[in-house]
């Protein structure tokens, strides 16, 4: 009986019936993580949205917005530009999307032709944009790049010298809204912007919310030039390192800042399931393009996960999609006797995703009695510190009563539900079990 129905405390006269905590493999739609699609706008013209309605995927929580300002390469950004950007951001926010924004001079691979001839013009545009985005919605999760290069990817540009990167980064840092992350294209670019050579301790580095984006994942051993070939000890802090060392670097850095981008087909064939999962985990990938590279993604849909457990036999595509960013799985729940009339509820939660949650959230122990009365207790924890592969323990004292117990998490700035990878109710609260007198 004890094995079947849980812990019985005869002295205090209550028993706890633990819920089935097996992992569910159904989609867990959570904010600021997952697959995304790209939507491109030339912001000197009035944006049109009619055709977009049928393209939006309701299962996505993220979009990447390419905002092309190439028409202003020879002049300041004008009021109409900001009005159009406001309409674009408002359109996606009203549909509950978190936004990755990349403002560019070029979206066709013609960076040198489309970017301004004067660096001072780039600085001026960054200042104008920084001032405007500093007051924009918190739904803008991430700012990619620094306007320059083909597709805004910080390559094929005349403005990539270290001193120019530092000046552009300083403009973005000075205007960055708290909670909005920045991202550069290559780890070596991040290192050029952070002076912590000789003692690589990310927690000691100047924290400016700057992460990475990689649009060449799996395209080659160097992720199409994202990485280099040198050994860090020989080439130094400001040069690109070999793939193994760069992945070690990303594994340390991206516990605190997001990483994501695009996976592409390579000349050496398709990587194995194990290689894909290991690499995405080391990089702490939070978001991936669901539409590019279709050849690679279709292969992922054919590959199956072989190991035991709830994911056995499921496709690599399904597994990757479920584990992008954070994925919180309740592993254990115990209820023990406390002082007279009280008990202590303890919950163990593992982050099985590739990355952390990078936004503030609140976690609640929720109870509901037989009459439908409800209450919740705010738990003392910081969800952003729940790292991949670790089990975190949270808990609270609770008055003993006949009730159902749940665990709930909500993003702080807007109250968006953060769901666990366990059975949940219609409100997204994970079911922990029932407490009975």
Of the given ranges (67-76, 263-272, 391-400), which has the lowest mean pLDDT?
A: 263-272
Residue 2 clears pLDDT 60, i.e. is over it:
no
Give the model's confidence band at 5: pLDDT under 50 very low, under 70 low, under 90 confident, else very high: very low
Residue 3 clears pLDDT 60, i.e. is over it:
no
Stretch 396-415: mean pLDDT? 97
Strand partners, 388: 351
Residue 38 clears pLDDT 70, i.e. is over it:
yes
Considering only CA atoms, which of 63, 153, 85, 162 is closest in space to residue 115?
Answer: 153
Q: Note the pLDDT of residue 10.
A: 44
Could you tell me if 79 and 15 are in contact, meaning their C-beta atoms sit under 8 angstroms apart? no
Considering only CA atoms, which of 379, 362, 378, 375 is closest in space to residue 405?
Answer: 375
Q: Note the pLDDT of residue 192.
A: 93
Is the Cα dihedral 186, 248, 315, 28 positive or negative? negative
- All structural domains of the chain: 2-26+326-436 (2.60.40.10), 34-323 (3.20.20)
Q: Note the pLDDT of residue 267.
A: 80
Mean residue pLDDT across the chain: 93
DSSP string for 89-124: HHHHHHTT-EEEEEEES-SSS-HHHHS-S-HHHHHH
More confident position, 308 or 208:
208
Q: Note the pLDDT of residue 1.
A: 34
Q: Which helix (H) or strand (E) holds 18?
A: strand 14-18
Residue 89 clears pLDDT 70, i.e. is over it:
yes
Residue-wise pLDDT for 341-383, tens only, equals 999 999 999 999 999 999 999 999 999 999 999 999 999 999 9
The beta strand positions in 304-372, using DSSP E, are 328-337, 342-351, 361-369
Helix/strand/coil for 29: coil
Is the Cα dihedral 213, 135, 159, 291 positive or negative? positive
Q: Note the pLDDT of residue 197.
A: 60
Considering only CA atoms, which of 339, 239, 354 is closest in space to residue 285?
Answer: 354
Stretch 392-397: mean pLDDT? 98
HSE toward the beta carbon, residue 72, CA cutoff 13 A: 26
Q: What percent of the chain has pLDDT over 90?
A: 89
Residue-wise pLDDT for 137-187, tens only, equals 999 999 999 999 999 999 999 999 999 999 999 999 999 999 999 999 999
Cα separation of 187 and 256, whole Å? 14
Cα separation of 186 and 200, whole Å? 17
Cα separation of 106 and 142, whole Å? 19
Q: Note the pLDDT of residue 351.
A: 98
Cα separation of 220 and 217, whole Å? 8
**Could you give phi then psi for residue 436, rounded to 5 degrees?**
-130, 140
């Amino acid at each position: 009986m004890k094995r079947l129905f849980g812990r019985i405390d005869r002295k205090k006269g209550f028993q706890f019936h633990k819920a089935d905590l097996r992992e569910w493999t159904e989609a867990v739609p959570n904010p600021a993580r997952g697959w995304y699609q790209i939507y491109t706008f030339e912001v000197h013209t009035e944006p049109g949205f009619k055709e977009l309605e049928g393209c939006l995927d309701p299962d996505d929580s993220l979009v990447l917005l390419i905002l092309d300002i190439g028409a202003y390469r020879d002049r300041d950004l004008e009021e109409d530009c900001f009005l159009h950007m406001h309409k674009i951001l408002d359109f996606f926010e009203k549909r509950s999307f978190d936004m990755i924004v990349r403002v560019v001079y070029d979206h066709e691979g013609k960076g040198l032709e489309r970017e301004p001839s004067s660096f001072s013009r780039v600085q001026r545009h960054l200042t104008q944009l920084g001032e405007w985005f500093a007051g924009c919605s918190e739904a803008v999760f991430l700012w990619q790049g620094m306007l320059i290069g083909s597709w805004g990817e910080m390559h094929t540009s005349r403005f990539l010298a270290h001193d120019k990167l530092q000046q552009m980064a300083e403009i973005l840092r000075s205007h960055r809204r708290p909670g909005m992350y920045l991202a550069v294209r290559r780890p070596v670019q991040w290192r050029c912007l952070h002076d912590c050579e000789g003692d690589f301790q990310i927690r000691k580095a100047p924290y400016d919310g700057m992460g990475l984006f990689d649009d060449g994942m799996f395209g080659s051993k160097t992720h199409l030039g994202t990485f280099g070939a040198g050994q860090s000890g020989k080439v130094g802090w400001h040069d690109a390192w070999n793939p193994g060392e760069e992945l070690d670097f990303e594994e340390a850095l991206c516990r605190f800042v997001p990483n994501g981008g695009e996976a592409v087909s390579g000349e050496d064939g398709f990587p194995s399931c194990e290689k894909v999962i290991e690499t995405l985990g080391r990089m702490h990938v939070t978001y991936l393009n669901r539409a590019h590279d279709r050849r690679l993604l279709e292969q992922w849909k054919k590959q199956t996960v072989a190991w035991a457990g709830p994911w056995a036999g499921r496709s690599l595509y399904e597994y990757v999609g479920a584990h992008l960013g954070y994925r919180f799985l309740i592993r254990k729940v115990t209820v023990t006797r406390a002082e007279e009339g009280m008990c202590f509820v303890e919950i163990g939660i593992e982050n099985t995703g590739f990355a952390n949650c990078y936004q503030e959230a609140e976690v609640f122990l929720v109870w509901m009695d037989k009459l439908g009365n409800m209450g919740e207790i705010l738990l003392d924890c910081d969800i952003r510190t729940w790292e991949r592969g670790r089990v975190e323990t949270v808990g609270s004292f609770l008055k003993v009563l006949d009730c159902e117990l749940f665990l709930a998490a909500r993003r702080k700035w807007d109250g968006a539900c953060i769901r666990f990878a366990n059975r949940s109710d219609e409100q997204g609260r994970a079911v922990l079990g029932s407490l009975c007198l």
